[in-house]
Structure 1
Amino acid sequence: MTTDFLSLDELKQKIHVLLQSLYPNSDPEALTEACLGAIGKRLNSDVVAPERLWSERDCLLITYGNSVRESGHKPLDTLQNFLHENLQGVFTAVHILPFFPHSSDDGFAVIDYTQVDPELGEWDDINALAQDFKLMADLVINHVSSQSLWFRNFQYGKEPGRDYFVEADPNYDLSMVVRPRTSPLLRKTDTADGVKHVWCTFSHDQVDVDFRNEKVLLEYLGIIGRYLDEGAQWIRLDAVAFLWKELGTSSIHLPQTHDVVKLIRLLTEYKNAHALLISETNVPNRENLTYFGNSNEAHIIYNFSLPPLVIHALLASDCTYLKSWMMSMPPSPVGCTYLNFTASHDGIGLRPAEGLLSDDELTQMLQTLESFGGKISWRTDADGNAKAYEANISLYDAFKGTYQGTDRWQVERLIASQAIMLAVEGIPAFYFHSLFATPNDYDKLETTGHNRSINRRNWSLSDLNARIQEAGGPGQRVFDELRRLIKIRGKQPAFHPNATQFTLHLRPEIFAFWRQSMRRTQSIFCIYNLSDQQQELNLADINLISTENWQDLISGQVISDLYGKMELAPYQCLWLTNYSDPSA
């Protein structure tokens, strides 16, 4: 539900209640007005029905602003030209990863939230992209760069920033704190008031801000307002699970964190009824699902368990774990949906596979990915033990082979993984490099020393064009087929992000599920051969309705015998539908 169903007084009352809980020592009425002032003037107050927030046409591209470069041109300008020439009408939305001045982590240590990195371009370039696509912008909400004005002011005891950061006594037992890194949690910092120890969940260049201070909340509301004013429509809450800190707790998923997300949703929808919040919480599946709230937190949550499970299924030629997880996933609540992805600028998260893959299966998968050139990044658990946090590898190279070793089916496995993602309930999101079958970037890995660099290649425009134009090459094959599949998907009502989904029970080598449009006019049976062997499919096992005509959307094959058999080639994908007029 959007705030347009609320009167302004009702909206203020909801904000008032949340602020009273978060900041009991503040004047909630004055703080409510301050929040409305910080988010800024309304841009759009149209009523938006939940089912119209997105459609089967929506597809997101995830990219850095400098993923493709051309000498003498601003990277954002080069990116827009490449997207316009090659991907206009394919993608409806683009996530430009942090495009602000930064000091590390390829943008996620933000120095200044209000500026575009001059090495990329300027706000006009961001505005131009927002004219062609729904634009997703990152709100790096948990931490700022140690080179930011706020942190420098903290060191000098000046405003703004003097009281914006979380301090802790290094002698206090902080072993309960959940973290995704192995570096020390506290950073020793010299200040005008002496030595202080500040909280750093990720790295010592990324210093956590203190949302227990209402001034910090107002700063970030102002930043959200600025992004919406500049054309962003989707706001990604980066690492939001760690937002609120309390000594003596895990400092992850605290009730106050959920209250802040609820507050941001109310104010974001007030500002622009078409704006969407996306939570980025790379955590076990059940924890991730909590960020839907009661349809009052994130509109969209990343489907973090999908990447490791899809990769495992294709490496093992076995959908058992993927199918079990899919059966356990609840339909998204009204006004919410999933963001499905199989690769991103980060590695393949392993925490979302906890409780879903056995330790032996996880170990075998990681050993296989390492044999394909991947790297493993680690975290420290509450007992001080090192645990695998993510696998760093390009998606293309993750599919060099199976548990049996390398083979000739690398391209087919990559395409199959993306065809699964395209059909699963939710909105599909493609990482830039998956479109071109980009291999591991060992040169960048060696230059930076950071494992994640292996999947963050910077293409020159000429080299990228050569890759997608090389007849019969992996880049050309993948690029052309994925664009075709995305366009097919966009015409199918049964692929609406909230359309019904049921998992089918076939044999382990064949993963299958059924989608039905919300008006029940279309069914699609999505069937995938996960093996390098031909598989026989008995059509009677999927129970196609005999009074309707069926065809495969991908190959165009018409199914003449509904009780016959089909031979599935290695890694072949079927989208069997009864819908004869996709333009209707």
Structure 2
Amino acid sequence: MKNQVQLITYVDRIGCNSISELEYMLQSKLNGLFGGVHLLPFYYPIDGKDAGFDPIDHMQIDSRLGDWNDLKSLAKASEVMADLIVNHISAESSQFKDFLEKGSKSEFFDLVLTRDKVFSEDISEEEILKIYRPRPGSPFTKFQLKDGKELAVWTTFTSNQIDIDVNSNIGLAYLENILTVFQKAGVSMIRLDAAGYAIKKAGTSCFMIKETFDFIDDLTQKAKSKGIEVLVEIHSFYQTQIEIAKKVDYVYDFALPVLVLDTIFNANSSNLKNWLKIAPKNVITVLDTHDGIGVVDVASEGNRAGLIPDTTLEKIVEQIHINSKDSSKKATGAAASNLDLYQVNCTYFEALGKDENAYLIARAIQFFVPGIPQVYYVGLFAGDNDMELLSNTNVGRDINRHYYSQEEIDAVLKSRFFNDFKKLILFRNQHSAFNGQFEVLDTLNNELQLKWTNEDTWAVLAINLSEMKLNITFYDEIEKEKVLF
């Protein structure tokens, strides 16, 4: 993956109707801004109950967006990351329908993970409580087969998302076949979606256990053999994230979004500085994604302290709600149909009270900390919370999944804010200092200074948090010493 800013987007929510239209936009209106693009699920169907993360057919591009040849064309013009949905298939898939029709005689019987494949006897309440849950309620859904038999099936996320047995031969073959299709289409990187939940073992949390690491490592090696890099998506306690990073190509720095809010809200960089001392370097940095703003990534776990005191974290969450005029409350936790109760659903721009200066400072911090920065399409356009979409779907995360028209995009591209944001993106893409050494300069906690040095070139980000002033200076042989902001 190029050490340049990457775009995260749905194909059909960024003013485009197809993959080919997106390719044209990246080469025209957004030319030069992104070293690659992470395409959120484009499989059939894109409009399932979980916005494509519940594919009926993982190896078929939704025909409304195009086909694999269109993706191959895009991959020639720009690096492409795609999601490998590791944990589950759709309840509407042909495989699961065959399972319900034929039961144990189905060729897909071993693909579907039933409760009795993990627990030989009825699961106790104590064992259920051990299972790490992304949502309230039981991790199982009972389905009736055609012959009348009832089976409890693992459904970690929703009853429409059927967990697969990744330890079975057919489960392994299912994932490998997707990798092969990706390779032929020119996909250069995959994000392992929900991989932390893929391995279930009785008596454990069924989340990021030893066997999960082994599974991820095995799948990573298979991807690498096809020339595909791997990003693992895990929301977890920060020390667990550090350990995971040692074993994979890339992880997300999911602690960063809240730490940046902490830095700005409290005019205090101490928690962020402490994290940068220990944070892994093989990371993809984000402030926003198609999911919410994660809390578990900085919170305490049991008697282990988090990156931010829990009392401070509670105030940060409350400040998000205040800044969004409580619109985020309507999309968070039990207020809507949320899969992840440990996330706050809100656009990052609204989380900062729609303050353009604060938002530019937040992005500058993201671009200067170690890692490859990704920018979510709503964040690219400094989007507001989409209350109309939330009202229509009652899906909390839809508040940050707006469908942009070309007219809306054109209006943003003409704005003063976007001109500054574009200048920052291009600087991050083009300055050679970001391929060098990183250091946090010693300052008071109401200031933050980050520096990159590569031979004779350097770039420094300096922020006065008390006055919310941003300053970026740099040096190279062509420009000599100059001020970007």
Same fold (TM over 0.5): yes
Contact 1:149 1:161 in 2 (8 A): no
Q: Does 1:277 align with 2:220?
A: no
Where does residue 139 of structure 2 map in the other structure?
A: 185
Please give the alpha-carbon distance, in whole angstroms, between the structure 2 residues aligned to 1:135 and 1:77. 13
**Which residue of the other structure, out of 38, 48, 59, is the alignment partner of 1:95?**
38
Unaligned 5+ runs, structure 2: 117-121, 300-305, 481-485
**Which residue of the other structure, out of 204, 209, 226, is the alignment partner of 2:164?**
209
SS of equivalent to 2:211: helix
Matches within 5 A, 1:50-69: 54-55=2-3, 58-69=4-15
Where does residue 407 of structure 2 map in the other structure?
A: 462
Contact 1:395 1:434 in 2 (8 A): yes
Where does residue 571 of structure 1 map in the other structure?
A: 469
Matches within 5 A, 1:11-50: none
Unaligned 5+ runs, structure 1: 1-52, 380-385, 402-409, 470-475, 534-569
Number of residue pairs matched by the alignment = 454
Identity %: 27
Please give the alpha-carbon distance, in whole angstroms, between the structure 1 residues aligned to 2:382 and 2:36. 21
Contact 2:134 2:341 in 1 (8 A): no
User: 361-370 vs 184-193, which deviates more?
Assistant: 184-193
Give, in angstroms, the shift of residue 388 of structure 1: 5.1
Please give the alpha-carbon distance, in whole angstroms, between the structure 2 residues aligned to 1:242 and 1:464. 37
Contact 1:350 1:390 in 2 (8 A): yes
* Distance change >3 Å, CA 490–CA 69, structure 1 → 2: closer
Contact 2:5 2:428 in 1 (8 A): no
Contact 1:239 1:281 in 2 (8 A): yes
Q: Deviations over 1:321-378 (max 9, x none)?
A: 1111112224x3xxxx210110111100111011011111111111111121213644
Matches within 5 A, 1:84-483: 84-102=27-45, 103-156=48-101, 157=103, 158-168=105-115, 171-172=123-124, 173-192=127-146, 194-272=149-227, 275-293=228-246, 297-330=247-280, 332=281, 337-354=282-299, 355-371=306-322, 372=324, 373-375=327-329, 377-378=332-333, 389-400=342-353, 410-469=355-414, 476-483=415-422
Give, in angstroms, the shift of residue 243 of structure 1: 1.1
Please give the alpha-carbon distance, in whole angstroms, between the structure 1 residues aligned to 2:251 and 2:266. 27
Please give the alpha-carbon distance, in whole angstroms, between the structure 2 residues aligned to 1:323 and 1:62. 27
Divergent runs of 4+, >6 A:
none
SS of equivalent to 1:430: strand
Contact 2:412 2:418 in 1 (8 A): no
Please give the alpha-carbon distance, in whole angstroms, between the structure 2 residues aligned to 1:388 and 1:356. 19
Please give the alpha-carbon distance, in whole angstroms, between the structure 1 residues aligned to 2:285 and 2:272. 14
**Which residue of the other structure, out of 500, 506, 511, is the alignment partner of 2:437?**
500
Please give the alpha-carbon distance, in whole angstroms, between the structure 2 residues aligned to 1:391 and 1:374. 7
Contact 2:135 2:340 in 1 (8 A): no
Please give the alpha-carbon distance, in whole angstroms, between the structure 2 residues aligned to 1:523 and 1:466. 34
* Distance change >3 Å, CA 478–CA 143, structure 1 → 2: farther
Please give the alpha-carbon distance, in whole angstroms, between the structure 1 residues aligned to 2:96 and 2:341. 31
Please give the alpha-carbon distance, in whole angstroms, between the structure 2 residues aligned to 1:162 and 1:513. 54
Give, in angstroms, the shift of residue 578 of structure 1: 4.0
- Max radius of gyration: which structure? 1
Please give the alpha-carbon distance, in whole angstroms, between the structure 1 residues aligned to 2:417 and 2:94. 44
Give, in angstroms, the shift of residue 582 of structure 1: 6.8
Q: Deviations over 1:283-335 (max 9, x none)?
A: 12221223334xxx4211111101111122112222121111112224x3xxx
Please give the alpha-carbon distance, in whole angstroms, between the structure 2 residues aligned to 1:261 and 1:363. 33
SS of equivalent to 1:494: helix
Please give the alpha-carbon distance, in whole angstroms, between the structure 1 residues aligned to 2:92 and 2:469. 49
Where does residue 20 of structure 1 map in the other structure?
A: none
Please give the alpha-carbon distance, in whole angstroms, between the structure 1 residues aligned to 2:425 and 2:189. 21
Q: Deviations over 1:468-502 (max 9, x none)?
A: 22xxxxxx233222221121122322212xx3322
SS of equivalent to 2:12: coil
Give, in angstroms, the shift of residue 95 of structure 1: 0.6
* Distance change >3 Å, CA 488–CA 240, structure 1 → 2: same
Please give the alpha-carbon distance, in whole angstroms, between the structure 2 residues aligned to 1:503 and 1:118. 48
Please give the alpha-carbon distance, in whole angstroms, between the structure 2 residues aligned to 1:349 and 1:573. 28
Give, in angstroms, the shift of residue 171 of structure 1: 4.0
Please give the alpha-carbon distance, in whole angstroms, between the structure 2 residues aligned to 1:90 and 1:439. 22
Contact 2:111 2:164 in 1 (8 A): yes
Amino acid at match of 1:359: D
SS of equivalent to 2:57: coil
SS of equivalent to 2:370: coil
Give, in angstroms, the shift of residue 127 of structure 1: 1.9
Give, in angstroms, the shift of residue 387 of structure 1: 9.8
Q: Deviations over 1:41-77 (max 9, x none)?
A: xxxxxxxxxxxx644xx2210000111346xxx3333
